[in-house]
Amino acid sequence: MARRSASERELAVHRQLMRFGEAESLATPMWEQRGTTVAAIEAQLARLWDVQSQTTSEGDQLVTEKGLPHARASVLNLIVTAANAETADRVVQTLLSLGIRHPSRAIVLVADHRAAGDPLDVRISTHCNTGGMDQICYEEVVLTVRGDKAEHLAGIVAPLLIHDLPTFTWWPGDPPFRDPVFDQLVELSDRLIVDSSDFGDLLAGLRRLAAIERRSGIGDLAWERLGPWQERIAQFFDAPRFRRYLPNLNRLIVRYAVPAMGSRRTRHAGVDAGLHTHLAPMAQPTLLAGWLAARLGWRRNRTLDPLLDGSMRLRLEGRHEMVDLRIQAEPTDQLPAGELTSVRLRSYGETGAAEFIIDRTGDEAVVATNADGMTALLRRITMEVPREAELLSQQLIDDQADPVYEAALHAATGFLAAARTEEAPALPVSPAQELGG
């Protein structure tokens, strides 16, 4: 599909927003201005909710205890970049489906420094969503920035944030890590949220992430997707009698979905299949392996099979055993590319081998433990592919740097670097040291 022109792209965003307006009913009329100024937008934001305050027949302001016209607690600002048409569509889609978990003010940036026309267009809408008994209101500011101004986004955004609130930046798609605009916006925010599944160059992207430090840390939707897997894996070893297998793990096989031959299905409907390189969907399996390695103090030993067609095999050095790490691509149309399909851990304990298995088919998984010579404990659980909005809303709740993620990121970077034949390992990887054991 050819890239759409700037005006087509704007139209698409606008249509999405209008659809939103119908579905959720605007709390105040939409305010739209072409060729506007930051000062004018600021003024509009300040009087945004005035329309709502009610007055009595005598002209007094009405003050009630319940159902205040603008009862609203502010929690955070969210800056979202929509660097191209595809991500712009996705951003709007996701924000729409955030349901009741909205940030207090979302600023969506559609920037194109090559485009001609009015340098700054704005569309402000306010939405109230009744979730249960409470009404949650939020403001959405869509800015279209063209020409030189697009290279100085931070200066445009900063005055429009609700002051004294944490500011998160969500950068969907493949962030331009080398672009100064990226640095500006990251500098402005307390937390950066990305999705490493979308990185064009996963290794470079993970390396760059590892170098960024914000007060509230880095959020990675690919990591968020691993949450249920981590819970289930940890659960294997909650029972004391199985915990003793943990130091003796000697094999980890992580399988993940890649599109079956001839399939055009990709992770995000409407996104060009060509957007992802063959490496990109490896974010989840690599981070999961990095997580286990970092938690259990496995160090990289050597590469057994270099990265080929999305699969790789490394030898790691565990506390007591050498660990055989295999990441394998599994062609399937059952699951979006990059989603995990199976995690299998094997260990030698006092009484023989033990195996801990999670195998996923569709939105369910079978969890099995085969140890102590006991009959396998089999359990069927739900393992749904979470919607992007759910992942994002969870990331909006977290506001602390996550040392566990950072350690996993570090280890994953090392694995990828080692497995990629075209370059020598650039980072000395010793996740155990990084974690202090």
Residue 354 binds another protein, judged by CB under 8 A:
no
Residue 136 binds another protein, judged by CB under 8 A:
yes
Which range, of 154-162, 238-246, 252-260, 279-287, touches another protein by CB under 8 A?
A: 238-246
Question: What do you get for the CA distance between the two ends of the chain, in Å?
Answer: 49
Residue 187 binds another protein, judged by CB under 8 A:
yes
Judged by beta carbon, residue 170 or residue 356, the one nearer another protein is 356
Burial pattern 250-280, b for ≥16 Cβ within 10 A else e, equals bbbbbbbbbbeeeeeebbbeebeeebbeebb
Binder to another protein among 35, 159, 180, 227 (CB under 8 A)? 227
Binder to another protein among 71, 260, 304, 322 (CB under 8 A)? 71
3-class secondary-structure state, position 362: coil
| Spatial contact of 290 and 431, defined as CB atoms under 8 Å apart | yes
Judged by beta carbon, residue 246 or residue 279, the one nearer another protein is 246
| Both tokens assigned to 356 | 């801990």
Binder to another protein among 154, 212, 385, 389 (CB under 8 A)? 212
3-class secondary-structure state, position 168: strand
Compute φ and ψ for 435, nearest 5 degrees.
-90, -5
Strands 311-317 and 299-308: antiparallel
Binder to another protein among 68, 210, 353, 389 (CB under 8 A)? 68
What's the rounded Cα separation, in Å, for the pair 235 and 224? 18
Contacts of 25 (CB under 8 A, 6+ apart): 127, 128
Residue span 277-316 as binding mask against another protein, x where in contact by CB under 8 A, dash where not: ---------------x--xx--------------------
Residue span 146-185 as binding mask against another protein, x where in contact by CB under 8 A, dash where not: -------------------------------------x--
Binder to another protein among 176, 401, 425, 430 (CB under 8 A)? 401
Residue 131 binds another protein, judged by CB under 8 A:
yes
Residue 62 binds another protein, judged by CB under 8 A:
no
What's the rounded Cα separation, in Å, for the pair 11 and 19? 12
Binder to another protein among 19, 278, 379, 387 (CB under 8 A)? 379
Residue 97 binds another protein, judged by CB under 8 A:
no
Which range, of 107-115, 227-235, 253-261, 327-335, touches another protein by CB under 8 A?
A: 227-235
Residue 387 binds another protein, judged by CB under 8 A:
no
Provide the edge-to-edge strand list for the sheet that holds 322-331: 299-308, 311-317, 322-331, 249-258, 340-349, 352-361, 364-370, 377-382
What's the rounded Cα separation, in Å, for the pair 399 and 417? 30
What's the rounded Cα separation, in Å, for the pair 267 and 197? 9
What's the rounded Cα separation, in Å, for the pair 44 and 124? 9
Q: Which residue in this structure is represented by tokens 């699951």?
A: 335
Residue 73 binds another protein, judged by CB under 8 A:
yes
User: Which of 409, 424, 418, 433 lies closest to 194, judged by CA?
Assistant: 409
3-class secondary-structure state, position 71: coil
Residue 207 binds another protein, judged by CB under 8 A:
no
Residue 364 binds another protein, judged by CB under 8 A:
yes
Binder to another protein among 404, 421, 426, 433 (CB under 8 A)? 404
The distance of closest approach from Cβ of residue 168 to another protein in the complex, given in angstroms and rounded to an integer, is 15
Residue 235 binds another protein, judged by CB under 8 A:
yes
Residue 322 binds another protein, judged by CB under 8 A:
no
Which range, of 10-18, 41-49, 97-105, 119-127, touches another protein by CB under 8 A?
A: 97-105
Binder to another protein among 39, 178, 240, 428 (CB under 8 A)? 240
Burial label for 169, CB within 10 Å (0-12, 13-18, 19+), is buried
| Spatial contact of 135 and 129, defined as CB atoms under 8 Å apart | yes
Judged by beta carbon, residue 135 or residue 328, the one nearer another protein is 135
Burial pattern 347-375, b for ≥16 Cβ within 10 A else e, equals bebeeeebebbbebeeeebbbbbbbeeee
Residue 238 binds another protein, judged by CB under 8 A:
yes
Q: Name the H helices within 100-152.
A: none
CB atoms within 10 A of CB 130: 12
Judged by beta carbon, residue 40 or residue 377, the one nearer another protein is 377
Binder to another protein among 381, 385, 389, 427 (CB under 8 A)? 381
Binder to another protein among 134, 148, 164, 350 (CB under 8 A)? 134
Residue 352 binds another protein, judged by CB under 8 A:
no
Helix axes 403-419, 283-296, angle to 10 degrees: 110
CA distance to 53, 106, 176, per residue, from 185 (Å): 34, 14, 12
Residue 274 binds another protein, judged by CB under 8 A:
no
Binding site for another protein (CB under 8 A): 61, 63, 65, 68, 71-75, 99-102, 131-137, 183, 186-187, 211-217, 227-228, 230-235, 237-241, 243, 246, 292, 295-296, 364, 367, 369, 374, 377-382, 397, 400-405
